[in-house]
Structure formats: structure tokens, C-alpha cells
């Protein structure tokens, strides 16, 4: 179940339908294409992840969504303009069958949007009950065993946890009182967790990452992860930065700018939504480069991130990075990156992986924060007493070691001294 049926959701749904029909390969999905090495290098055991852990198959998936617009899946995918019309035609009936349920929406949280497919209710607790009804009906109608909810809705305004977010009692009281602190995405997250369903937040806004919903997730056996899918410029940043740090190359400045013309870009043109995104994008370098440990190299780093809404480009984002480097004896160098990417093409396989891995986690009895899924996020949700891990390569090792751990296989340390005894 996807909250929001925009570019990311429709590219995920349509892509999965095309892959099921054998019309396209699942490129970018670790769950579908990745392997995991087991045992020693000499053993030559590297099964596909999907053969190693019992993931749900693509044929088992059924899609449902909420949106503030009434467009069905075909119309929404056509509007998003990511997948070419000829391919969409091949799955038209399946897409047309997905009609979004009315949304919980309040324009105070997403200023640039207005739609008509919206629920009404006396208060936010009652709206959450309506979401729970939608989920139960969906499950019953399609005779489903299990559900997963992913927030792929627009980025909401920047909010920080307040008293209302500290306990379940305070949170429910605030819902009843229609408090401003409870955004629409929190209403969905609460509904999912009440049903014991896994929940992931693909956007950067505060949604389930505070004590009240952490506790609810643990109490009800819901695995949770987020926030903000790591695609595009930030993906490249978390690939390049660990490499620079590994070789102790200094960075005095990192200027990132983007042009983006889809609806996401339009929403992010609002300063309050952009602030949420900016916070999410900017934190990665601090954690990867560790200026406290390496003050000579990174203490004065000037990190600037800009997103410019530029309609002609649609979903085909272009990002530029200028990185000012410092080498041996303090000599300056520069690195320029120009990434002509497709935002939703990078995001869709992540959504698929999250659905499959969260469902696996639920069946494995894991609940609360799933830090091993940090690999997929710009602002990984983490335990309060540790800092978030942003280095893509450490994140991947953590993910694969978690899968090994689940199956009782030896964890891989890459020590390998035994080969030289």
C-alpha cells in the first residue's frame, strides 16, 4: 500500500508489472538481482539474495494506494511521464484497476498541493480509523496474507518532535485534539502501526521517527524504516565521500545544485518543504567525513545544497556537484560531477526492496527501527544513542550481515588472515 500515487509509486507499480511479464529487467533491485557471499571466498558460495532468504515473489504482490487526486494508476503514471506510453499500454488494464482511496490530507503540511479525493472526519484519530478500514477492506477483498505501507507522498513541511510525540497517550490525545503537530503522514504511520503492519517513509518529513511511534511499532510487532530514499545526488555523494575520506583527502567545499521539473520539484519549491529536504541532504557529509575526528581535513567544509524547480526537465533531474579538495601539503584540487539521472527510475527499485525486506523482517519477528535498511535512505532512522551510518559500503555490509545472521550463517569480517598462515 502506497501513500501517494505520484512518480515514484507509479514507476514502482508499473515497473513491477512489466518485470512480472518479462518485459523489462529489475535493474537496481538488490532483492531481485543481488547476491550474498556465504562462508570463505574459497567456498565459491554466492547465492542470489532471493534464493537465500524467503522473500515474497513478485507474483504475490497486489498494489493499493491513497492519493488526493482521483486519477487511476494508468492516468497517474501517464501524468508522471517517467515510463514511455508504449510500455504503459502493455499493462494498462492492471494500472487502470488501481483507483486511489481518498487521502488524509491537510494543505498546511504541503502548501503547493490541492486535490479533491480527501477524507473528512471529526479528528485525526477518526481519520486514522478510516485508513485502517481501507487496509482491512483491501486485505479482505484481495485475500491477502500480509500488508506493507510505504509513504511515497509529497514532502511535508519541516516539523520537529514535540511533547505530543513523546508517548502513545500524548500522541493519541493530540490526534483527538486535531493538534498541528500531527501531520497527515503521521496519521497514516499510526494507522499502519496500530494494524501491526511494516511502515517505511520514502520522504524526508517527520512521520514515524519519534518515541511514541517507536514504542507503538515495538508493541505491535511492526518493522519501521526511513527516511528519504537515497537516490540521485545524495547516492553519488555517499559513494564518493567515503572514498575521499578513506584516502584522507581534505574537502573544503561541496556545492550541490539540481534542476528538477516534476511535481516533487514543484512541492520542494516551497521553502518549508525544501527545509525538510535540505536538512536530510546536508547531514550525510558530517557523518561520513567525521570532522571531529579529522579537523584538519573537514572542519571548515562549506556544504551547500540547492534544488531548483525547472519544469522542462520533468522527472529527468540534472545535478551538478563542485567539490573543492585539499591534497598533500594543502594543495587545492577540484572534482566536478554532472549526473543526468532519472529520479523515479532510481527510486522505484528501492521501494520494491523495502516492501520485500520489510515483509521478511515482519515474518522474522523483527519490530521497531530496522537500521539494516539504512542502505536505502538519506536520513536513516536509528537508535537514539548511536549516530546514523551514512557510508553506503558500511550500510551494504550491515544489510548483508543481517541477512546472514537471520539464516544462521557466519558473518563476514573480511579479515582473511587464514589464507596467509
Q: State the Rg of the chain over Cα.
A: 22
Q: Site map for ligand NAD, 234-273, x if CB under 6 A?
A: ----------------------------xxx--x------
Q: Would you say the C-alpha torsion 155, 99, 106, 126 has a positive or negative sign?
A: negative
Nearer to ligand NAD, 204 or 250 (CB): 204
Evaluate whether 233 touches 241 at the Cβ level (below 8 Å). no
Ramachandran angles phi, psi of 103, nearest 5°: -95, 160
Cα separation, 392 vs 369, in Å, equals: 18
Range 391-410, binding ligand NAD (CB under 6 A): none
- Cell 525538510 maps to which residue? 276
* Distance of alpha carbon 284 from alpha carbon 180, whole angstroms: 29
Give the dihedral of Cα atoms 35, 40, 41, 46; nearest 10 deg: -20
Range in contact with ligand NAD (rule: CB under 6 A) among 60-68, 133-141, 328-336, 403-411 = 60-68
| C-beta of residue 261 within 8 angstroms of C-beta of residue 7 | no
CB-wise, 105 or 298, nearer to ligand NAD?
A: 105
Site for ligand NAD in 135-154 (CB under 6 A): 152-154
Which parts of 293-322 interact with ligand NAD (CB under 6 A)? none
User: What's the closest the beta carbon of residue 363 comes to ligand NAD, in angstroms?
Assistant: 26
For ligand NAD, the binding residue among 181, 228, 359, 389 (CB under 6 A) is 228
Neighbours of 269 (CB within 10 A): 16
In the range 97-136, which residues lie near ligand NAD by CB under 6 A? 103-105, 110, 113, 115
Closer to ligand NAD by CB, 38 or 267: give it.
Answer: 267
Write each residue from 153 to 172 as x if it is in contact with ligand NAD (CB under 6 A), else as -, in one continuous string.
xxx-----------------
- DSSP bridge partners of 190: none
Q: By CB under 6 A, name the binding residues for ligand NAD.
A: 3-9, 66-69, 80, 103-105, 110, 113, 115, 152-155, 184, 202-203, 228-229, 231-232, 262-264, 267, 343-344, 346-347
Amino acid at each position: 500500500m502506497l501513500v501517494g500515487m505520484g512518480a515514484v509509486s507509479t514507476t514502482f507499480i508499473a515497473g513491477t508489472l512489466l518485470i512480472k511479464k518479462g518485459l523489462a529487467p529489475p535493474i537496481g533491485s538488490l532483492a531481485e538481482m543481488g547476491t550474498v557471499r556465504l562462508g570463505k571466498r574459497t567456498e565459491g558460495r554466492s547465492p542470489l539474495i532471493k534464493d537465500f532468504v524467503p522473500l515474497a515473489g513478485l507474483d504475490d504482490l497486489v498494489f493499493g494506494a491513497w492519493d488526493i487526486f482521483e486519477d487511476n494508476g494508468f492516468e497517474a503514471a501517464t501524468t508522471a511521464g517517467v515510463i514511455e506510453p508504449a510500455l504503459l499500454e502493455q499493462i494498462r488494464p492492471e494500472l487502470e484497476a488501481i483507483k486511489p482511496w481518498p487521502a488524509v490530507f491537510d494543505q498546511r503540511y504541503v502548501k503547493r498541493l490541492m486535490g479533491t479525493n480527501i477524507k473528512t472526519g471529526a479528528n485525526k484519530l477518526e481519520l486514522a480509523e478510516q485508513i485502517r478500514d481501507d487496509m482491512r477492506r483491501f486485505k479482505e477483498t484481495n485475500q491477502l496474507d500480509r500488508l506493507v505501507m510505504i509513504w511515497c507522498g509529497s514532502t511535508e513541511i519541516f516539523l520537529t518532535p514535540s511533547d505530543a510525540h513523546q508517548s502513545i497517550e500524548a500522541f493519541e490525545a493530540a490526534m483527538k485534539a486535531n493538534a498541528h503537530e500531527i501531520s497527515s503522514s503521521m496519521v497514516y504511520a499510526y494507522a499502519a502501526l496500530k494494524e501491526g503492519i511494516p511502515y517505511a517513509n520514502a520522504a524526508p518529513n517527520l512521520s514515524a521517527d519519534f518515541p511514541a511511534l517507536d514504542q507503538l511499532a515495538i508493541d505491535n510487532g511492526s518493522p519501521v524504516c526511513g527516511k528519504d530514499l537515497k537516490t540521485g545526488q545524495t547516492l553519488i555523494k555517499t559513494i564518493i565521500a567515503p572514498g575521499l575520506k578513506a584516502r584522507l583527502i581534505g574537502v573544503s567545499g561541496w556545492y550541490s545544485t539540481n534542476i528538477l521539473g516534476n511535481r516533487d520539484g514543484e512541492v520542494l519549491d516551497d521553502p518549508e518543504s525544501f527545509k525538510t529536504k535540505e536538512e536530510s541532504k546536508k547531514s550525510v557529509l558530517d557523518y561520513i567525513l567525521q570532522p571531529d575526528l579529522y579537523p584538519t581535513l573537514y572542519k571548515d567544509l562549506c556544504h551547500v545544497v540547492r534544488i531548483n524547480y525547472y519544469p522542462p526537465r520533468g522527472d529527468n533531474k540534472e545535478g551538478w556537484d563542485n567539490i573543492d579538495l585539499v591534497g598533500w601539503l594543502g594543495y587545492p584540487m577540484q572534482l566536478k560531477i554532472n549526473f543526468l539521472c532519472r529520479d523515479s527510475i532510481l527510486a522505484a527499485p528501492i521501494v520494491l526492496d523495502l516492501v520485500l525486506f520489510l515483509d521478511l523482517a515482519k515474518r522474522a519477528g523483527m519490530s521497531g527501527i530496522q537500521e539494516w535498511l539504512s542502505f536505502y535512505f538519506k536520513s536513516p532512522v536509528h537508535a537514539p544513542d548511536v549516530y546514523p551510518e551514512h557510508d553506503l559500503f558500511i550500510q551494504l555490509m550491515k544489510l548483508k550481515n543481517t541477512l546472514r545472521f537471520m539464516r544462521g550463517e557466519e558473518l563476514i569480517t573480511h579479515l582473511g588472515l587464514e589464507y596467509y598462515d
